[in-house]
Amino acid sequence: MPTEDPTRKVERLKRVTRRPERDLSGRVPPGQFITERFPVLHYGEVPQVDLATWDLRVFGRVEQPLRLTWAEVQALPATTITVDIHCVTRWSKLDTTWTGVLWRDFLRVLNIRPLPDATHIMAHCDHGYTTNIGLDVLDDDDTMLAWAYDGRPLEPEHGWPLRLLVPKRYFWKSAKWLRGLEFMAGDRPGFWERAGYHMEGDYWKEQRFGW
Ligand SMILES: Nc1nc2c(c(=O)[nH]1)N[C@H]1C(S)=C(S)[C@@H](COP(=O)(O)O)O[C@H]1N2
Ligand SMILES: [Mo]
């Protein structure tokens, strides 16, 4: 048996043992596994979109309803962020990079003022998909209306031309093919929430189902 001094051996092992490329501690919520792929998940068909007639409506409990064209959305201030995403079907993808307009910039630049009784939004999408999100959740520095992934326009199946990105919630809240933001007085279930998914969807609390 070679007789390497134990302390020296540990020091040598420390030098030759590769550190993990990224620190995963505190990043993978309970019951999730990491994938390098980018799964595509949605209900129904990928919509056919014509940017010439596309619009985004802001309505409900706001002082001034709005209708934005694609050109007007593109003129909004752009930010690029890198976040982890977590799907309720248990895949997580780390370090995904998105470009779009931050929620806070969206409200500020367009001077969107929710009425005092507004507490939640319903995101409305092409083909009728909906999901509900609290204004307190949206009021964060990583929520956005995203139009690019990895520096390129969204793929049609990932929500082109515009999707919501709500990184602090399970990914079903990140509505693809976004067409409307309805400000609501109180909460109301969206598409999956009506089917039994949780109203909040906080993955650190494993809020998968509403039972
Ligand atoms: N319009 C719309 N948005 C949607 C969905 C959908 O069915 N329709 N599915 C949600 C679900 S359940 C997930 S997990 C993510 C998947 O996004 P991805 O296909 O880009 O991975 O989109 C969410 N946004
Ligand atoms: Mo999902």
- Does residue 3 sit within a domain? no
Q: Nearest-CA neighbor of 163 among 72, 101, 120?
A: 101
- Does residue 137 sit within a domain? yes
Q: Nearest-CA neighbor of 92 among 141, 36, 142, 146?
A: 36
- 125 with 165: CB under 8 angstroms? no
Amino acid 2: pLDDT = 62
CATH code of the domain in which 101 resides:
3.90.420.10
Nearest CA to ligand 1 atom 24: 175
Distance 174 CA to ligand 1 centre (A): 7
- Does residue 21 sit within a domain? no
Amino acid 17: pLDDT = 62
Counting every residue, how long is the chain? 211
Nearest CA to ligand 1 atom 12: 172
Amino acid 16: pLDDT = 65
- Does residue 9 sit within a domain? no
Amino acid 113: pLDDT = 98
User: Under the phi-then-psi rule, with left for phi > 0, alpha for psi from -120 to 50, and beta for the rest, what region is 138?
Assistant: alpha
With a CB cutoff of 8 Å and minimum separation 6, the contacts of 6 are none
Q: Which domain holds residue 148?
A: 50-205
- 42 with 192: CB under 8 angstroms? no
Amino acid 11: pLDDT = 79
- Does residue 103 sit within a domain? yes
Nearest CA to ligand 1 atom 21: 40
Distance 172 CA to ligand 1 centre (A): 5
Amino acid 20: pLDDT = 54
Q: Which residues of 38-72 are buried (b: 16+ CB within 10 A; e: fewer)?
A: eeeebeeebbebeeeebebebebbbeeeeebebee
- Does residue 189 sit within a domain? yes
pTM to 2 decimal places: 0.90
CA distance 184 to 186: 6
Nearest CA to ligand 1 atom 20: 158
- Does residue 177 sit within a domain? yes
Ligand nearest to the CA of 40: 1
pLDDT in tens, 67-78: 999 999 999 999
Amino acid 23: pLDDT = 66
Residues with CB under 6 A from ligand 1: 39-43, 87, 125, 129, 158-159, 171-172, 174-177
**Mutational test site, ligand 1, from 32, 35, 40, 42, max ligand atoms within 8 Å of CB:** 42
Q: Which residues of the chain have pLDDT under 70?
A: 1-2, 16-23
How many domains is the chain partitioned into structurally? 1
pLDDT in tens, 105-152: 999 999 999 999 999 999 999 999 999 999 999 999 999 999 999 999
Amino acid 26: pLDDT = 87
- Does residue 11 sit within a domain? no
With a CB cutoff of 8 Å and minimum separation 6, the contacts of 38 are 93, 96, 158
Amino acid 191: pLDDT = 97
